[in-house]
Structure 1
Amino acid sequence: MNNPLDSVDLHLIRVLHTVLAESSVSRAAMRLGSTQPAVSSALRRLRAITGDELLVRSGNAMVPTAFGASLIEPTACILREAQRLVEGAGRFDAARSTRLFRLAAADYMDPAFLPQLIATLKREAPQCGVDVLPLSAALDYRHAMAEGEVDVVLGNWLEPPQDLHLAPLLEDEIVCLVAADHPALRRGLDLQQYLQAEHVAPSPLRAAGEGVIDQHLHHLGLQRRIAVHCAFFNLIPGLVARSLLVLTTGRRFCQRYVEAGLAVRILPCPVPFPPLTYYLLWHARAHHDTAHRWLREQVREAASRSPTAT
């Protein structure tokens, strides 16, 4: 007994997806590196198999039918999974791959790091998609990586998770960022003044808990006054520039705003903090995958090219 699937091969799926995505046989042929007659012949086969026109004329243009439009994402999914099957057995072909990479990252890293990484990924793997997700309390990154919903996580922890693979990426010094007219720039900032000042802090990355700064302060038996919590880390320097709030974070992050001309200045932090270390995390399920290995290598290389804060 013949199985209907026997009449469909991966080439037909690729043609179908490209024709529907381009809404044009000629453009699909160019994208596929094929000829228009060959693509037209494949489209006729697909119409016979599905019993649907798939692509019809509308005025001077061609548009997918309702059924055709419903096949765009499923065919893309089939092609992505087929790509993974091929890549799993050998070298990852970045230049030809069409897979989607998903990264979860903290937004308080060096502001130049992620743009540099994304630019590298798009240069080396131009057909790959990249999703950058916020590393926030709303994201259960362990579950997301276990389910294959996130490929890698980039962030910092006082004690990084030991149930995941990890590699240190960047190291930074903890400093304070204040407004350019903050009194502490004239009088200095000692420990007592630091603890009594009004602080701004990012919203914790965990649904219940505190960030690495307050974790370390509590380890020392100290507590600061947090007047403002903000879920958008890149907005915080603007808040600092217009207030007496103190931000405690890495020098790399602060330095970019000073160099950009924002009315803020960097002060040494009077609390003895260990270096702030950013880590790359990944799950065991992706440890040997060739595409994931390639992605992790790009992340590590981007970190090695990141200039040292001064």
Structure 2
Amino acid sequence: MDTYLLRVLCTLVEERSVSRTAIRMNQSQPALSTALKRLRKLFGDPLLIREKNAMVPTERALQLVQDAQVALNALDKMLSADEVFDPLRSERTYTIAMPDYLAPPFLADLVRRFRQSAPRSKLVTLPLGSEYDYEKALAEGQVDLVIGNWPTPPEHLHMAVLLEDEVVCLMARDHPLGKAGKLTAQSYINASHLVPLPYSSSQRGVVESTLATLRLSRSKQVSCPYFTLAPYLVGESDLILTTARHFAAYYARRLPLVIKPSPFDFPLMRFYALWHPNKHRSKAHAWLRGLLSDSAGVLKTVSGSA
């Protein structure tokens, strides 16, 4: 049992819908269905029963929700000590673990806001890697926030979506496919691709997952450990980089590159911030999350100006 399951239980009984609960808790519907299965097994009760177009809580569920709410309120009170926080006077150090697949204006805007609001505090950014245990780092307080875009983030962590962006193809302006008009599925598969190394060893990205469901694979001719280096390599070669529109748009305005719509119906890339429940009620942490949310608006502007 953990606080995540208790919150799922309370929200499910209140919303009486897995889909609405998923939206309210910023979780995927499959993740909520899995949590409901765990709750049913844990308490030996169906908890919610489908009747027509609604889910009706059992008597056991209604009893459990009362106790769960008491427990959650007590935990929230413990975690929300009367913290006095003034960013102008604070001398805290904040640590964010993040990859480099967000366009540079995001971090630049975050640093600007941070320096203006908290001139005495320090901001540390750490790189992510496939072997980096970010869940442990969050739980132990080594980092305050992690920025990610894995299709299925850990369900026990809090999440705030920074940007949802379409997947596009970036290539050199003189690339043969760049001059050929619309990019087709066959030409995409037959082309040579630059694929940045994954930031998670346990999860596939949106592109690889979608192609796998279609039983397709692309030719990964070059791998690169840095996203910010990838556009420069693409601009000097016959390679294609499949990435988010905001990232492609930023570099297409600065390098001899062209953006082509993807020939496949890839899901939107979702970029989000993750944090541990032990920091959720912290006023200083909430302030930092607010800065990230404000800076995310820059990414939307970059994406929309392509």
TM-score, normalisation: structure 1: 0.69
Alignment counterpart, residue 236 of structure 1, candidates 223, 230, 243: 230
Deviations 1:84-124 (A, max 9, x none): xxx95233210011111000112111221111011111110
In the alignment, the residues of structure 2 paired with residue 263 and residue 250 of structure 1 have an alpha-carbon distance, to the nearest angstrom, of: 18
Structure 1 residue ranges without an equivalent (≥5): 1-86
| Larger Rg over CA atoms | 1
- Report how far residue 222 of structure 1 moved: 1.8
Alignment of 1:19-34 (within 5 A): none
Instruction: Name the SS for the 2:292 alignment partner.
Output: helix
Question: 5 Å matches for 1:108-147?
Answer: 108-147=101-140
Quote how far apart the aligned CAs of 1:216 are: 2.2
* Residue among 154, 177, 180 paired with 2:173: 180
1:163 positional shift: 1.7
Deviation at 1:209, TM superposition (A): 5.3
- Inter-partner Cα distance in structure 1 for 2:154 and 2:188: 30
> Out of 273, 276, 287, which is 2:269 matched to?
276
% identity of equivalent residues? 41
| Matched residue type, 1:292 | H
Q: Is the 8 A contact 2:150 2:203 kept in 1?
A: no
Q: Distance in 2 between matches of 1:184 and 1:215?
A: 24
Aligned to 2:278: 285
Number of corresponding residues: 223
Residue 259, structure 1, aligned to residue 253, structure 2: yes
Structure 1 residues 158, 220: closer, same or farther in 2, change over 3 A? farther
CA distance in 2, matches of 1:209, 1:304: 27
Counterpart in the other structure of 2:243: 249
Which residues of structure 2 form unaligned runs of 5+?
1-79
After superposition, residues 37-186 of structure 1 pair within 5 angstroms as: 88-186=81-179
CA contact 2:105–2:298 (8 Å) conserved in 1: no
Deviation at 1:154, TM superposition (A): 1.1
CA distance in 1 between counterparts of 2:298 and 2:138 reads 26
Give CA deviations for 1:263-296 in whole Å, capped at 9, x if unaligned: 1110111011111111111001111111111111
Measured in 1, the distance between the counterparts of 2:191 and 2:216 equals: 13
Q: After superposition, what is the alpha-carbon deviation per residue over 1:146-171, rounded to whole angstroms, capped at 9, x for unaligned?
A: 01001001121222221210011111
How far is 1:302 from its partner?
Answer: 1.4
* Alpha-carbon contact 1:177-1:246 (below 8 Å) kept: yes
Shift of the 167–289 alpha-carbon distance from structure 1 to 2, 3 Å rule, reads: same
Aligned counterparts of 1:210 and 1:274: Cα–Cα separation in 2: 13
Moved more, 214-223 or 283-292: 214-223
Two-structure CA RMSD over aligned residues (Å): 1.6
Residue 204 of structure 1 corresponds to: 198
More displaced stretch, 296-305 vs 233-242: 296-305
Runs of 4+ in 1 over 4 A off after TM superposition: none
Question: Offset at 1:129?
Answer: 0.6
